Structure 1
Amino acid sequence: MGCSWLLILGLIQIVAHSLEIQGSGEEPIPVIAHNVTGVLEEDVYLSCEYQGSAQINKAEWKRRISSSKFKRLAGFSNGELFSRGDFSKPDSPTNLTVRMKVSSVEAEGEYICEFQEEEENPFGSVFVTVIAKPDIRIEVNSETINDTHYQLVSCSAVGGRPIPQISWLVGGRPPSDFPFTVNESKTLHSNGTSTLISTLRFPTHLQDEESVICVVKHETLPNPKSTTANVETYGKLISAAFESL
């Protein structure tokens, strides 16, 4: 009986020692930000830090080019820190925090951070989403159809990504269906951005506000951006007609 208990105790010690060995060999997972948003033509930071205690022989940021090819971007190799293209050199072999210039929409995608130690190659990945801040422009034009004078106020959000939202305020309120009409047109550009144009049209004699406001909402704007356009009123139009006589 005593031998049985000793045998059981010995088995427990063997299992515990085995678990301890397995636990000590667990691969340290790098601390990494998994989702990052970068603004076109601005800088974004990619952070990745090794949490293990082993000696780091090599470390790098890379991006997959094909199923078997990767592009090396920045890291530590042959005892030196390195960087290429739009990347800065990392802080250290164990802290691969880098600054990346978002020079094109093609920068969007997955980036892999990998450390090479004696026994393991722990790695992590981050997906970078690229957005672009639109350039907002406003323009006022007019036309006369069947002796009726109309004004057309165009608000353009140029070079945005994703597509922004444009709305209008007349007298502090959204314009009613009559006498106002709103038309939108969208243009996609080869660099991955787009331009949205919203045109507010109304007959001058049915509108007595001296200005209208274009409101643009976009991910790059912390708050909606309002742009005011001065327009003619029916009274001003009549006065101008009399002055021309």
Structure 2
Amino acid sequence: MARRDARNWSSCTQKMIGLLCLIASILTQHGTSGQRVKVEPEVLSYPGQTVNLRCAFTDATGIQLTMVTWIYEPKDGERINIAVFHPNFDPNYPDSPVKGRVSFTPSPPNLASPSIQISGVRMTDEGKYICEYATYPSGNEQGITFLVMLAKPENSASIVTVVAGSKPAVVARCESLNGRPVAQISWVTTANGNATTVSKPGADNTVTVTSEYRMVPTATDNGKDISCLVAHRTQVKAESFLMKLAVQYAPQVSIVGYDNNWYVGRPNVMLTCQANANPVPTSVAWKTMSGEMPDTVQIKGNELKVLKVDETVNTTFVCEVSNRIGTTRDQVTVMVREPPQNPSNVGVVAGAVIGSLLAVLLVAALIAVLVTRSRRQQQGYRANGGSDMKTRIFGGGKKASKNGTGGGAGSSGIGGGNNNGPIYVYNESSSHQGLGEKNNHHQPLTMGGRPEVVATTPTAQDILLSNELDDAERRKFDELEEEERYDHFTGGAPILQLRPPHDQDDMIGDYLDDDMESQRDGSVISRTAVYV
């Protein structure tokens, strides 16, 4: 039993192997024959041109070529013989759509290269052309060429004007007219929509392609870019049509210019009515909710100007804008406020007054200092002006009596305990040698033929200039008895010490300003005096 199954399996295996070998042989033979008939896979042509369809048998070794037949197979039709060649007969051209326009080339033809040409090709000539050899012992072998007829289309695109709404509508259209093969149309845009494409036969076996872009149009879509791209085999690159969407809508209105700070008396405030619309607005109208327009209002187009704000402006202004699609309005309510209070300027005024007073005081102080200094310098110059004036100051009342001026003069001009004693002037140029009062400028009083000495209270100037006495006067004072020069100065009041001769040059300037000191009785003395 097992042996019988083994024999059956062996027999089946041999049959299967034989069948596979047969199939492989057939496929190999078919592939070899297909490769030996050489044709062009595709030929392109425009209407009216002449096309050449080439065919050749490359390797005829061990094979007898009997006959060649060209067959035309339309896209939607049956096969038709259009040209037949047998070496023993003349070429034959059966009835076909290309009869009279087809012929073998070269002429006369040969089996090794039986090419044909078709003149004045038409769009209907497009299809499959088969070059078929009858051989022995291989049988028929063939090669297929596709004739593709080209027709450059007429491309165009257009915008469809629509009104904004809630339903889809065609907003753009693109068309490729009478092309061959079928054109490819695509869209590029930021608008939210989709395209529908339809193809239909055109003239002379061409195709017309129409594509429409649909969307729900809105006001914001108006003016957006949209492009139609048409790609075709006859074109190097796709043809592009750039357009802008045209969506019509009613005006969109807004009033600007109110800053919520309209107060009584404020001048020249303005409201502007801004409107976006497609098509453009045909009218702009200003109104108020109360029905009456204030007298201070001027209207010019879309502008409302208030010359001066008052209580009548305390209302609601309405702007209405219209176009062919419709009318839209906007409004603004104005609330008139009280005029703003001017900020108090008391502080500013007070600051200005105080600053002015300080400036005046500063200038006055400066002027006083300058005037005082000028007067002091002028007094010093007057006292020191005459070269013949020599002064001496002393501090007791006994000096007057010793000089023989008389008891009246001595009692009236001398103060017992005051160092501000009289100042005597000695005039060298006078014919009467004597002493006179400095303040009288050398006007002596004669008593018994001699100049009379008059005692007076010395000034600060006299004290400063007192050490201009010459050496003769110094000697006169040195001869006085010591008790007489100091008896009357027991009160402890200061007296002046004569300066050395080398300090005389600077006495008027530096000494006058820096060395003087005021006393309680109104006199001025030097700080360098010696106290005893």
> Fold-level match, TM-score > 0.5?
yes
- Aligned counterpart for 1:30 among listed residues 37, 44, 56: 37
- Aligned counterpart for 2:102 among listed residues 80, 84, 87: 87
- Aligned counterpart for 2:70 among listed residues 61, 81, 89: 61
- Does 1:47 find its partner at 2:86? no
- Does 1:72 find its partner at 2:82? yes
Counterpart-to-counterpart distance in 1, 2:170 and 2:212: 14
| Aligned twin of 2:190 | 175
Counterpart-to-counterpart distance in 2, 1:164 and 1:154: 15
Question: 1:214 is aligned with what amino acid?
Answer: C
Shift of 1:70: 4.1
Q: The residue matched to 1:221 in structure 2 has which SS?
A: coil
TM-score, normalised with respect to structure 2: 0.30
Higher strand share: 1
- Aligned counterpart for 2:174 among listed residues 155, 161, 173: 155
Alpha carbon RMSD of aligned pairs, Å?
Answer: 4.8
Give % identity: 16
Q: Contact between 2:154 and 2:179, CA under 8 Å: does it hold in 1?
A: yes
Q: The residue matched to 1:222 in structure 2 has which SS?
A: coil
Counterpart-to-counterpart distance in 2, 1:175 and 1:50: 58
Question: 2:82 is aligned with what amino acid?
Answer: R
**Higher Rg of the two aligned structures:** 2
Shift of 1:90: 2.3
Shift of 1:215: 0.7
Shift of 1:48: 0.8
Counterpart-to-counterpart distance in 1, 2:45 and 2:71: 20
Counterpart-to-counterpart distance in 2, 1:243 and 1:90: 75
TM-score, normalised with respect to structure 1: 0.56
Change in Cα spacing, 1:102 to 1:182, as seen in structure 2 (3 Å) is: farther
| Aligned twin of 2:117 | 98
Change in Cα spacing, 1:37 to 1:199, as seen in structure 2 (3 Å) is: farther
Question: 2:106 is aligned with what amino acid?
Answer: D
Higher RCO, Cα 8 Å, sep 6+: 1
Q: How does 1:123-202 map to 2 (within 5 A)?
A: 123-128=141-146, 130=148, 133-145=152-164, 152-160=171-179, 163-169=182-188, 174-177=189-192, 181-189=193-201, 191=205, 193=207, 195-199=209-213, 201=215, 202=217
Shift of 1:214: 0.8
Counterpart-to-counterpart distance in 2, 1:79 and 1:120: 24
Counterpart-to-counterpart distance in 2, 1:214 and 1:42: 31
Shift of 1:203: 3.7
Q: Contact between 1:74 and 1:89, CA under 8 Å: does it hold in 2?
A: no
**Deviation by residue 1:83-120 (Cα, 9 ceiling, x = unmatched):** 735535423524305346652457323x2214568988
Counterpart-to-counterpart distance in 2, 1:73 and 1:146: 64
Change in Cα spacing, 1:64 to 1:146, as seen in structure 2 (3 Å) is: closer
